[in-house]
């Protein structure tokens, strides 16, 4: 009996040891390998896109990742994701963190964790100027394009149930459909629409219309149930805001001297240090 008890105890100790190893925190893993792998968009001006001069992915979200990587003292590696692939790539471990214009929703909280809000936006419509679409009410019986796997899909269906929603792999594809007359509007967060509009060779042909019909608080996507890593990221974001580094990065991409000017009219939730 004593022998059996010892065997059981040994098995339990082994299981606990293996469990502890299997659950090693992401923070320690990143430091050990010396690289933070961040999932980012590569066609979403100015959040994440390929710079034609350098052929590198750059943008606001990439700078968010770089700040966290610098805080960790590691290099940054970015991997392209889409609205549909960003959560699977995070849960599968292909990336350590996601910075990809991702709205924090309770539904997504079931499979991943989020940082505090690092960007605030709302959903609108991008349409052909003078084309007769000025709000979601004008989309009754019409086709509207958005990105597959985005919150925009659900939001536009709620805002205009009688519109036909066409989902594309990314927003540039949806915009191409708008230019070809295949959809009457493209819908997503207003800042993304601003990037699409002002990246076009004829930005004056397009306009962003309507009132906000959703709130879109962006969070950094993080592995589920890893509070140590999540706390580190949240503290890094708070330090970025308090130090003024957030404002510098924001102005770099959304300041008055850019094509994507958007006043910073919200404040990050900062907890006491």
- Which structural domains are found in the chain, ordered by start? 26-118+219-254 (3.40.190.10), 122-216 (3.40.190.10)
Query: Please, where are the H alpha helices in 99-165?
Result: 151-159
Residue 17 binned pLDDT confidence (cut-offs 50, 70, 90): very low
Give the tens place of pLDDT for each residue, 67-109: 999 999 999 999 999 999 999 999 999 999 999 999 999 999 9
Q: Specify whether the backbone of 168 is left (phi greater than 0), alpha (psi in -120 to 50) or beta.
A: beta
From CA 49, how far away is CA 36, in angstroms rounded? 19
- Rounded to the nearest angstrom, the gap between the alpha carbon of residue 232 and the centroid of all alpha carbons in its chain is 18
Q: Can you point out the beta strands (E) in 148-227?
A: 164-168, 185-189, 206-209, 215-218, 221-222
For residue range 181-198, list pLDDT tens digits in order: 999 999 999 999 999 999
SS3 100: coil
Rounded average pLDDT over 206-214? 94
Give me 240's structure tokens. Answer: 């970025």
- Crossing angle (nearest 10°) for helices 60-72 and 227-243: 110
pLDDT at 52 exceeding the cut of 80: yes
CB 233 within 8 A of CB 38: no
- Percent of the chain clearing pLDDT 70 (strictly above): 91
Q: Which of 9-23, 152-166, 246-260 has the lowest mean pLDDT?
A: 9-23
Give the whole-angstrom CA distance, residue 151 versus residue 216.
9
HSE at residue 42, side-chain half, CA atoms within 13 A, is 13
């Amino acid at each position: 009996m004593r022998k059996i008890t010892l065997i059981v105890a040994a098995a339990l100790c082994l299981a606990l040891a293996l469990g502890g190893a299997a659950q090693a925190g992401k923070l320690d893993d990143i430091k050990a390998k010396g690289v933070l792998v961040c999932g980012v968009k590569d066609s979403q001006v100015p959040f994440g896109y390929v710079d034609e001069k350098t052929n590198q992915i750059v943008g606001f979200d990439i700078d968010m990742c770089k700040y966290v990587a610098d805080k960790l003292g590691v290099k940054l590696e970015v991997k392209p994701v889409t609205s549909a692939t960003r959560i699977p790539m995070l849960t599968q471990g292909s990336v350590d963190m996601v910075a990809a214009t991702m709205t924090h929703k309770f539904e997504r909280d079931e499979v991943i964790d989020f940082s505090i809000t690092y960007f605030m936006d709302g959903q609108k419509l991008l349409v052909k100027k003078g084309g007769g679409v000025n709000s979601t009410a004008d989309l009754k019986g019409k086709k509207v394009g958005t990105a597959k796997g985005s919150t925009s899909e659900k939001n536009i269906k709620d805002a205009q149930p009688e519109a036909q929603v066409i989902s594309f792999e990314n927003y540039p594809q949806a915009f191409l459909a708008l230019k070809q007359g295949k959809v009457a509007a493209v819908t997503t967060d207003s800042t993304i629409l601003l990037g699409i509009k002002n990246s076009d060779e004829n930005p004056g042909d397009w306009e962003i219309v309507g009132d906000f019909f959703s709130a879109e608080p962006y969070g950094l996507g993080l592995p589920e149930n890893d509070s140590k890593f999540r706390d580190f990221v949240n503290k890094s974001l708070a330090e970025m805001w308090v130090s003024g580094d957030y404002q510098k990065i924001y102005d770099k991409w959304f300041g008055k001297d850019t094509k994507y000017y958007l006043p910073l009219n919200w404040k990050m939730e900062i907890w006491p240090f």
